Amino acid sequence: MREHGFASAHRSGDSAPDADEVGDSLRRLPGELDRHRSALADRLATLLTATATGDRAAFTDFYRLTSPRVYGLAARILGSHPTAEEVTQEVYLQVWSSADQYNPALAAPVGWLMMLAHRRAVDRVRAEAAAAVRDLAYACAHAGRDHDVVAESVTQRMEEQAVLGCLDALTPTQREAISLAYYSGRTYREVADHLSVPLPTVKTRIRDGLKRLEICLSVEGADG
């Protein structure tokens, strides 16, 4: 009868590693990981140098080795996979055009790349927030979403110029949260996920912001 491999191995004198061997392997692991990271950094730096000379093959290898991390960071910041894909492509266009500006004395290749990715993603968030603010008055008037009593009171009295004039009364965080909720049509939970803040914090920002708008609009109405 055929013996199972495990039994056969033991009968031929083989044995499983003992605790000391396992411990030695675990102790060597950090050093091996450091060597791997160092080798990868050297490889990426070489690829960046070649990319700066117009080497498309080097650029392709650099993209293949690093794009998952860039996309992951963009997706976490933006909360939108299609937008993260767009930003990722923008980052690598920037790498292609500015690889000669990379200075290995100032940052590791991945650190430099992730700095570019973070800036691009944050710029996209700010651009979308600015666009949302510009259209906030129209969105609030037509959203048809009664978040709470305060929101209902505000949206019923909003006129475009008055709202735009009162937006400066809000804090940046209040303005951003309200823009996402009313212009982008997101729920409180979706706004919280997008901003990576607790749901109660989002509710407070929106409610306090709407109260400020209500006060400002009341003054505007009285003056008018």
Residues of the chain with pLDDT under 50: 1-13, 143-146, 156-158
Q: Say if residues 94 and 123 touch (Cβ distance below 8 Å).
A: no
For residues 77 and 85, what is the distance between their CA atoms, to the nearest angstrom?
A: 12
- Check residue 182 and give its pLDDT: 67
Q: The whole model's pTM is what?
A: 0.50
- Check residue 104 and give its pLDDT: 86
Whole-number Cα distances in Å, 160 to 79, 135, 143: 29, 9, 14
- Check residue 207 and give its pLDDT: 83
- Check residue 116 and give its pLDDT: 93
For residues 190 and 206, what is the distance between their CA atoms, to the nearest angstrom?
A: 13
- Check residue 144 and give its pLDDT: 46
- Check residue 131 and give its pLDDT: 64
Q: Which domains does the chain have, with CATH numbers?
A: 33-127 (1.10.1740.10), 135-223 (1.10.10.10)
Tokens of 1: 């009868």
For residues 145 and 134, what is the distance between their CA atoms, to the nearest angstrom?
A: 19
- Check residue 214 and give its pLDDT: 76
- Check residue 220 and give its pLDDT: 58
pLDDT tens track for 86-108: 999 999 999 999 999 998 888 89
